[in-house]
Amino acid sequence: MNDTNLKFSNSVIGLPLFFVLFLWIIYWLQIRFDFDFYQYGIYPRDFLGLRGVLFSPFIHENLEHLYNNSIPLLILLATIQFFYPKQTFGVICYGILLSGFITWVVGRTNFHIGASGLIYVLVSFIFFKGIQTRYYRLVALSLTVILLYGGMIWYVFPDVDQSISWEGHLAGLITGFVLTFFYRTPEYAKPIVYDWQRPDFDPTSDPFMKHFDENGNFINIPKEEEENLPDYFSSSHSVNYIVTRKLDSEDEI
C-alpha cells in the first residue's frame, strides 16, 4: 500500500465538468423549448414510471434545484475519480440504477426528480469505503466528507422537509453503502510481508508456531515430534569439497 495509487489525471477535472455541464444543457433545453421533462421522473410503483430510474437524475425543477446539486457533484465526482478511479463509473451507473429502483419501490406517489440521490450515493460510498480500507488517507477523506456533508443525513427522514424526495436520499445512502461491498480496492490493501499475514495461514503447520501453546506460552516439543519437523538445512544434492594447502614461503624453497 503506497501513495503511487493516487495519481492526478485530466479525468479528475473532466468527468465532473462534463457531467454537470450535461445537466445544465438539459435544463436549458427544458426552459428554452418549454419541454415537460417532469413526466420522465420516477413515479413509484407504476410501470411507466420505471423510466425515471434512468432519466430522473438529469431533470431538475428550477435553477435553484440545479445549482444546489451542481456544486456537490463537482466536488464529489472529482473526489471519487481521484481516489477510486477504477470504481468510479461502476458506482455512478449502478448507483443511479439501484437508488432509482429503491425510490420507485418505496417512494410517495409523485414524480421524483433531481441528482440528489446520486449525491447521497457518492457521499455514502466515499465515507464507508474509506473506513473499510483502513488506509489513513482514505479514512481522513471519510472524515472530511462527514465534515462537509454530514448535515445531509437529516434529509433522509420524512418529517424534515416534505417538499423534497427524502426517499431518493435514503435510497442513495443505502445504495452507496451496499456498493462498498461489491467494489474491492486491492490497491489500498496492506502488502503481505510475512507468511502469518496470509489469509490461508495455518499456525498448526508452522514449525515455529508449534513451540507455543494456545495461550502463547513457550513449550518444548518432544524429540520424536521435533525430528519430524522439516529440516531447512538438508539438501538432496551432493556437495563436493576440494581442500587445498597454502604453502608458506619456506616450504616453497
Q: Are 43 and 52 in contact (CB under 8 A)?
A: yes
pLDDT tens figures, 115-153: 999 999 999 999 999 999 988 899 999 999 999 998 999
Which has more pLDDT, 238 or 82? 82
Which band of pLDDT confidence, cut at 50, 70 and 90, is reported for residue 253? very low
Indicate the pLDDT class of residue 219, thresholds 50, 70 and 90: confident
Q: What band does 55 get if pLDDT is binned at 50, 70 and 90?
A: very high
CA distance 51 to 40: 6
User: 60 with 66: CB under 8 angstroms?
Assistant: yes
Structural domains of the chain, with CATH:
3-182 (1.20.1540.10)
From CA 104, how far away is CA 167, in angstroms rounded?
Answer: 9
Query: What integer pLDDT is reported at residue 189 of this predicted model?
Result: 72
Percent of the chain residues topping a pLDDT of 70: 74
Task: With beta carbons less than 8 A apart as the criterion, state whether 158 and 169 touch.
Answer: no
Query: With contact defined as beta carbons under 8 Å apart, do 52 and 111 qualify?
Result: yes
Q: Report which of residues 19 and 188 the model is more confident about.
A: 19
Task: Region of 9 please: left (phi>0), alpha (psi -120 to 50) or beta.
Answer: beta
List, in sequence order, every beta strand (DSSP E) within the chain: none
The SS3 assignment for 107 reads: coil
C-alpha cell read off for 105:
419501490
Average pLDDT over every residue of 211-228: 64
